[in-house]
Amino acid sequence: MNNPLARFLLQDGTEYNGYHFGAPLSAAGEAVFSTAMTGYTESLTDPSYKGQLLVYTYPLIGNYGIPSERKLENIDEFYESNKIHINALIISDYSHDPYHWNMAYKLSHWLKKNNVPGIYGIDTRTLTQKLREQGTMLGKIIVNNDIPFYDPNIENLAAQVCIVDKTVYGNGKYKVLLVDCGVKNNILRCLLRRNCTITRVPWDYDFTCEIYDGLFLSNGPGNPKTYQKTIKHVQYALTEDRPIFGICLGNQLLGLAAGGDTYKLKYGHRSHNQPVLLKGSERAYITSQNHSYVLNEKSLPPVWNVLFKNLNDGSCEGLLHESKPFFSAQFHPEASGGPADTEFLFDWFIERMEKYKAKTPH
């Protein structure tokens, strides 16, 4: 294959040489790694990766191509959003001749269509070891012209990935108010399968006067402390008794609204095989994760309990209020292209809404 040469640079001066594929552009962002063996379509369209340069440790990427853009109920059936959100893709080996019964594009063609560059021919396992030693770093792919480094964490990324106008999905029994900070499509699918009507609103939407049975706080990119408007609205919701369920960034926003604090991990949790322990039990679950920030459990008020704990580093992976129907998970129970061991958390949300509706029919 006559792919042109390209370079990948880290902010500490380390340089890797490889071959360009995808869009013929240079790109900069935050370099992060994922250990997943499958699910590259889902990861690339996950809004939580906004502004990042995704490094895959698994050697062969692109071997099953990219699926069709078919929609069900106005939601992309095989993607987590309507476009690629990473700034660039860094892989070891690119599969030039993929095959799958549902393939519509090759990965390179799909990247080019979305104006996203990629680079292959790099020892991504050595690169990942460096990121594990040094921590997450800024990086850039140079294809034609050099560009400056770029730190996406200084921006309000949720505003760049969420919807602009209120949107309603479904016509089910349970009315869910979903705060979109970069929600994944499979969250919508999981709620719709459980007889929900979803009212999806932007990250800064004032929902305090809305009528709903349950509040859902979505996943999303960036530093949770930059979303002060959302935190303020969630603080009001905590004074009520309507159920609240948060996932990933939503878990952090719930904790911040409750009075807790967050901190950034050295290199984040990004894999399909993170083990978490359900507190009060000996049951461990395998989870899919993609985040840089976590809650400091010692900062939480005493009415909040840790619901899940990461078995690798002991970090907080979820919250549970001791008396009100509020809970959250730092991982992705809706994982598409990952384990679905914890999808029962959506059933917990439904059960809490059912109890709320029984008390306050409307």
Q: Which residues are catalytic?
A: 248, 332, 334
Nearest Cα neighbor of 158 from 249, 27, 265 is 249
3-state secondary structure string across the chain: CCCCEEEEEECCCCEEEEEEEECCCCEEEEEEEECCCCCHHHHHCCHHHCCEEEEECCCEECCCCEECCCEECCEECCCCCCCCCCCEEECCEECCCCCCCCEEECHHHHHHHCCCEEEECCCHHHHHHHHHHHCCEEEEEECCCCCCCCCHHHCCCHHHHCCCCCEEECCCCEEEEEEECCCCHHHHHHHHCCCEEEEEEECCCCCCCCCCCEEEECCCCCCHHHCHHHHHHHHHHCCCCCCEEEECHHHHHHHHHCCCEEEEEEEEEEEEEEEEEECCCCCEEEEEEEEEEEEEHHHCCCCEEECEEECCCCCECEEEECCCCEEEECCCCCCCCCCCCCCHHHHHHHHHHHHHHHHCCC
Geometric angle at alpha carbon 352, from 349 and 356, rounded to 5°: 135
Question: Which tokens go with 98?
Answer: 């993929």
Check if the beta carbon of residue 53 is closer than 8 Å to that of residue 29: yes
Check if the beta carbon of residue 86 is closer than 8 Å to that of residue 52: yes
Nearest Cα neighbor of 100 from 133, 68, 146, 142 is 68
